[in-house]
Amino acid sequence: MITLGVEEEYLLVDPATGVPTPAAKDVRRAAGLGPFAEGAEIQDELLQAQIEVATPVCWSLDEVGGHLLRLRHAVASAAEASGCRVAATGAAPVRGGTPIPVTPTPRYLRMEGEARQLADEQLICGMHVHVGVPDPETGVAVLNRIRGRLPTLLAMSANSPLWDGRDTGFASWRTIVFGRWPVSGVPPHFDGLCDYESRLQALVDSGAIADRGQVYWQARLSDRYPTIEVRCLDVQLRADDAVMLAGIVRALVTTAIAEEKAGLPLPVAAPELTQAANWHAARHGLDGTLLDPLGRPHPGGEALHALLRSITPALEEAGDLRGVSGLVHRLLRVGNPAHRQRRALDEKGLPGLLGLLTGTDTCD
């Protein structure tokens, strides 16, 4: 069985207005000293209205779900005690007139100095899935094989349709905001590990980025762990949807490893098609069509069923097929989180939306 872990970022917001609140220090202190979380599992982010949690290394999706529920409870309780709420949304639906302060670490302060407007507007939250790989060479081969599936994962996870108090017309506005950094989006195809390392080093040497941590591709090798890190996902409203996506990512990695060992051919789409597929997924989510790994359009439901078929053996091997497929069918029935945000706002206004984002009103 291949190990996995999940990181989730959340916004801290005013419970009445939804305006982001710079309370990360207080919330992290309260959550780290509480009975439900260890301090190392809860981390600061770029802005002081954001907080991140990270599960331990897990072997099963049940473990992932248990840890996410525990950590969500810990930070939600700490936020309430600190006078704010935790909002599980990919982008701040409303923003105040005053920029949120940057967390005062040397790295974050440098990022603010180099790109002030981008830092001010980084009120976005993602979900990262780490999946273990046996070695970096295999990891690069996995990146090559899963890159064409990243737009479909993005469409499934889209949870950021609102920004500055209005509908952006995008299912994942977070993807558009995050795409303004110098190195972002779907990673390119690599000719092995040496090519991967030399291209990362060239980016750092160019001065366009300060370090390898600013390589914000939607999938990359982790520099801290022996894992592939998939970063294309918006944070999820519900922990079970996060578990579903984690299971799919692990199955994609497992399938890619098996295909690489078997020497199966790997068709590579033109980079402009992959970039267009990513933008299209951020724009439309599961509405209309999705582009497959070769850039061909398919109805959203058909694309999800094709994804499931391609990873069914890996899901079966892990014992995840029934749980993951059931959650995928629910997703097709009720819509992705962007649908749910829009429905909550239409039916119940801002109070209903905030209830959905903070977990006090599911609106499902």
For 219, residues 6+ apart whose C-beta sits below 8 A from its C-beta are: 143, 146, 147, 150, 186, 187, 228, 229, 230, 231, 232
- Domains for the chain: give ranges and CATH numbers: 4-358 (3.30.590.20)
Neighbours of 61 (CB within 10 A): 21
Per-residue pLDDT tens for 312-356? 999 999 999 999 999 999 999 999 999 999 999 999 999 999 999
Say whether pLDDT at 53 is over 70: yes
What pLDDT, on a 0 to 100 scale, did the predictor assign at position 30? Answer: 87
Report pLDDT digits (tens) over 116-161. Answer: 999 999 999 999 999 999 999 999 999 999 999 999 999 999 999 9
- Select the more confidently predicted residue: 98 or 258: 258
CB 250 within 8 Å of CB 129:
yes
pLDDT at 188: 96
pTM: 0.96
364 pLDDT tier (thresholds 50, 70, 90):
low
Cβ atoms of residues 111 and 213 within 8 Å: no
pLDDT of residue 363 exceeding 60, the answer is no
Yes or no: say if 232 and 154 are a contact pair by the CB < 8 Å rule: yes
Say if CB 354 and CB 18 are below 8 A apart: yes
Choose among 258, 234, 238: nearest CA to 312: 258
Query: What stretches of 40-146 adopt beta strand conformation (E)?
Result: 42-44, 50-54, 85-87, 126-132
